[in-house]
């Protein structure tokens, strides 16, 4: 993948990603639904060194969900827009796809936590849908 740029809604925080996309999930879990207010989060998964903030880092806030081992939201404290979570301790960067400026070349790979979806969620179409994480 060539370098892609992204930003929050107000444009104060900017970032870039590069390198190989490991996965691109629509995640239907209850935490992603709460965090996004929608039927699923759409997240590009990369290695942590494939994502970097380039502007506005002082505005980045995060919220660790009580009781969650890994789940944490990252967002702009000015506009509330979700932002990438770059977590070297978990060997992962989770990039909210909707915050990319142009991701038209990226293809969603899977739907995950399909078993947790809301009744009104969109249907799976041709994508593989997993009850939790993909098993390959
Ligand atoms: Zn913002």
Residue with tokens 């977590």: 87
pTM of the model: 0.93
Q: How far is the CA of 94 from the centre of ligand 1 (A)?
A: 18
Is residue 17 over pLDDT 80? yes
Summarised one tens digit per residue, pLDDT across range 34-90 is 999 999 999 999 999 999 999 999 999 999 999 888 899 999 999 999 999 999 999
Summarised one tens digit per residue, pLDDT across range 106-128 is 999 999 999 999 999 988 889 99
Q: How far is the CA of 104 from the centre of ligand 1 (A)?
A: 22
- At 29, the pLDDT band (50, 70, 90 cuts) reads very high
Q: How far is the CA of 97 from the centre of ligand 1 (A)?
A: 15
Q: How far is the CA of 125 from the centre of ligand 1 (A)?
A: 33
- At 21, the pLDDT band (50, 70, 90 cuts) reads very high
Specify the pLDDT at position 1.
Answer: 74
- Pick one of 3.20.20.80, 2.60.320.10, 3.40.50.1220, 2.170.150.70 as the CATH number of 4-116: 2.170.150.70
Is residue 136 over pLDDT 90? no
Q: How far is the CA of 83 from the centre of ligand 1 (A)?
A: 9
Q: How far is the CA of 100 from the centre of ligand 1 (A)?
A: 13
């Amino acid at each position: 993948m060539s370098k892609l740029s992204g930003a929050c809604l107000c444009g104060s925080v900017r970032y870039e990603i590069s390198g190989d996309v490991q996965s691109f999930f629509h995640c239907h879990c209850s935490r992603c639904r709460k965090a996004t207010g929608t039927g699923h989060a759409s997240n590009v998964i990369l290695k942590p060194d494939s994502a970097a903030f380039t502007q506005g880092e002082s505005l980045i806030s995060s919220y660790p969900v009580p009781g969650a081992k890994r789940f944490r939201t990252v967002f702009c404290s000015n506009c509330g827009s979700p932002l990438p979570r770059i977590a070297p301790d978990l060997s992962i960067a989770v990039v909210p796809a909707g915050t990319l400026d142009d991701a038209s070349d990226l293809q969603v790979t899977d739907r995950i936590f399909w078993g947790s979806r809301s009744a009104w969620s969109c249907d799976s179409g041709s994508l593989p849908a997993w009850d939790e994480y993909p098993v390959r």
